[in-house]
């Protein structure tokens, strides 16, 4: 019986284990030094905010693992001997394997800031990070977060929920404008300020100052401003966690280098998820650090390991997040700056909390992307329209099909169609399908 070892019990490692078990009777061992059981990493913030307890973040009951013959080993891997096919474990006997999956995920970036290792200075990625943040934010009078992006806004919301004043240092001109188009970036920047968070745009961390006990007492920005605080959150992105791989024969660059089949340069060693750097047939490489891509990679890899060599294909990009109380969805390609033949239709509600952006190709009007803030659209519908290269005009006329907001929520499809008609009075459009009460009740009936 082959023994498959998996380093990492995040979404990638656990998905691989589950799908390998469905396909084979191989022995499976999942090793993690972080936690005893798989948990939802995106739910960590809600533990701090008091909405959930740790046990609520575990998608599977504790008995699930033994029932499905998946061995969980709480241990830290210190070295990988690929010649002997052995994992060296801290304080535990060596573990032999036949096939190995590296799914070590990410770790918070540190850029050598003076004071970055002081007490009260933490990133936010792991369960241990959450525990450190819990201890370090008790009875403090101010916190500083250095770095925008999704982790930064999560940490800001966490601290604000406990009435801790927060200064948020973001080096960009507007929040996350290296990802979001200008209008959406400005909207979220305003929203952050509306929630009482001290957003400092075009402001970067220079150093962290210590008190007499070796704890953070203030930060200094690159402009020379000193901001007193007792906690500093470092949220300037994450990078692949290669700590255990670097001393092995497994090739790395930014991440663990893998083919489109998730294979490394070493036979019987694979990598997937945040730590993997995918190298295409054209030689170009990239890292995909999204929850759903980690899951998809694991599903493809399970097939390969169990004898059906399967290429990982991401398909149409999608992502979702939450900026305080504004939900965000994106499908397809929505660049922060238009280029080439990209064109866009952007609508924003007067309340500044809802927006829809449609991106399309100037040559044939084919829709290529959606950005949605405060509004939910059905992923399957948006993906289908992109795959079918439906025109902007077709999509506008059928927007009601995509609407996924709860019953009785206000719908905005007619407003974006009206915007298009004002811009193109020569060929006005009309909604041909709109989700109303009948279709809502029909949906309920079909899935009750």
Residue 114: inside a domain, yes or no? Answer: no
CATH of the domain at 407: 3.30.390
Which pLDDT does position 439 carry in this prediction? 43
- 101 and 246 share one domain: yes
Which pLDDT does position 442 carry in this prediction? 39
Which pLDDT does position 444 carry in this prediction? 39
Stated as kind and residue range, the H or E segment containing 313 is: none
Tens-digit pLDDT profile for residues 307-320: 999 999 999 999 99
- Name the residue range of residue 362's domain: 318-447
Residue 438: pLDDT over 80: no
Tens-digit pLDDT profile for residues 50-59: 999 999 999 9
pLDDT band at 404 (very low <50, low <70, confident <90, very high): confident
Tens-digit pLDDT profile for residues 13-61: 999 999 999 999 999 999 999 999 999 999 999 999 999 999 999 999 9
Residue 287: pLDDT over 80: yes
Q: Which of 236, 269, 297 marks a domain boundary?
A: 236
Which pLDDT does position 443 carry in this prediction? 38
Q: What is the dihedral of CA 380, 383, 389, 391, to 10 degrees?
A: 70
Residue 210: pLDDT over 50: yes
CATH of the domain at 279: 3.50.50.60
Q: What is the dihedral of CA 216, 218, 223, 224, to 10 degrees?
A: -110
Which pLDDT does position 433 carry in this prediction? 57
- 299 and 322 share one domain: no
Which pLDDT does position 410 carry in this prediction? 86
Average pLDDT, the chain: 94
d(CA 353, CA 195): 13
- 350 and 271 share one domain: no
Average pLDDT over residues 184-210: 97
Which pLDDT does position 448 carry in this prediction? 36
d(CA 274, CA 100): 16
Which pLDDT does position 281 carry in this prediction? 87
Residue 275: pLDDT over 90: yes
Residue 273 falls in which region: left (phi positive, over 0), alpha (psi -120 to 50) or beta: left
Burial (0-12, 13-18, 19+ Cβ within 10 Å), 324? middle
pLDDT band at 72 (very low <50, low <70, confident <90, very high): very high
d(CA 188, CA 264): 40
d(CA 201, CA 73): 44
Which pLDDT does position 434 carry in this prediction? 57
pLDDT band at 447 (very low <50, low <70, confident <90, very high): very low
Average pLDDT over residues 211-216: 97
In order of 81, 249, 263, the CA distances from 266 in angstroms are: 11, 7, 8
Bigger pLDDT: 409 or 345? 345
Residue 84: pLDDT over 80: yes
Which pLDDT does position 445 carry in this prediction? 37
- 58 and 202 share one domain: no
Number of separate domains in the chain = 3
- 174 and 285 share one domain: no
- 251 and 341 share one domain: no
pTM, two decimals, is 0.91
Phi and psi of 415, rounded to 5°? -70, -40
Tens-digit pLDDT profile for residues 247-264: 999 999 999 999 999 999
- 10 and 65 share one domain: yes
Strand stretches in 9-85, DSSP E: 27-32, 70-74, 77-81
- 361 and 381 share one domain: yes
| Residue of 104, 122, 28, 25 whose CA lies nearest to 71 | 28
In order of 55, 250, 304, 316, the CA distances from 284 in angstroms are: 41, 19, 22, 19
20 is written with which tokens? 């390998």
C-beta of residue 333 within 8 angstroms of C-beta of residue 369: yes
Residue 440: pLDDT over 80: no
Average pLDDT over residues 398-415: 88
d(CA 53, CA 39): 11
Which pLDDT does position 351 carry in this prediction? 95
Through-space distance between the first and last CA atoms of the chain, rounded to whole angstroms:
44
């Amino acid at each position: 019986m082959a023994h498959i070892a998996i380093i990492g019990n995040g979404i990638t490692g656990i998905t691989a284990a589950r799908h390998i078990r469905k396909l084979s009777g191989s022995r499976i061992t999942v090793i993690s030094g972080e936690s005893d059981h798989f948990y939802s990493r995106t739910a960590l913030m809600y533990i701090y905010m008091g909405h959930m307890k740790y046990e609520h973040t575990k998608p599977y009951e504790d008995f699930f693992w033994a029932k499905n013959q998946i061995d969980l080993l709480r241990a830290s891997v210190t070295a990988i001997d690929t010649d002997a096919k052995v994992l060296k474990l801290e304080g535990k006997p060596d573990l032999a394997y036949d096939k190995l999956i590296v799914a070590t995920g990410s770790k918070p970036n540190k850029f050598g800031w003076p004071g970055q290792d002081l007490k009260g200075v933490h990133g936010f990625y792991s369960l241990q990070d959450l525990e450190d943040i819990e201890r370090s934010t008790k009875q403090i009078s101010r916190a500083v977060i250095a770095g925008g992006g999704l982790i930064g806004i999560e940490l800001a919301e966490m601290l604000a929920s406990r009435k801790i004043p927060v200064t948020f240092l973001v080096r960009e001109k507007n929040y996350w404008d290296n990802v979001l188009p200008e209008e959406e970036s400005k909207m979220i920047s305003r929203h952050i300020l509306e929630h009482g968070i001290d957003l400092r745009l075009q402001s970067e961390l220079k150093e962290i100052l210590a008190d007499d006990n070796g704890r953070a007492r203030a930060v200094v920005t690159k402009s020379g401003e000193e901001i007193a605080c007792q906690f500093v959150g470092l949220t300037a992105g994450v990078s692949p966690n290669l700590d255990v791989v670097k001393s092995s024969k497994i090739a790395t660059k930014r991440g663990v280098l893998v083919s489109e089949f998730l294979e490394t340069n070493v036979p019987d060693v694979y990598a997937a998820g945040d730590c993997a750097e995918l190298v295409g047939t054209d030689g170009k490489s990239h890292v995909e650090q999204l929850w759903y891509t980690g899951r998809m990679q694991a599903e493809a890899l399970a097939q390969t390991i169990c004898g059906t060599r399967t290429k990982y294909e991401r398909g149409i990009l999608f992502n979702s997040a939450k900026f305080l109380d504004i939900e965000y969805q994106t499908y397809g390609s929505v660049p922060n700056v238009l280029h080439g033949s990209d064109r866009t239709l952007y609508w924003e509600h007067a309340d500044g909390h809802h927006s829809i952006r449609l991106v399309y190709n100037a040559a044939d009007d084919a829709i290529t992307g959606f950005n949605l803030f405060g509004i939910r659209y059905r992923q399957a519908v948006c993906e289908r329209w992109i795959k079918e290269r439906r025109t902007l005009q077709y999509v506008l006329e059928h927007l009601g099909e995509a609407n996924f907001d709860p019953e009785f929520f206000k719908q905005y499809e007619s407003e974006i169609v009206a915007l298009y008609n004002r811009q193109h009075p020569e060929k006005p459009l009309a909604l041909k399908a709109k989700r109303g009460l009948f279709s809502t009740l029909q949906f309920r009936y079909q899935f009750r």
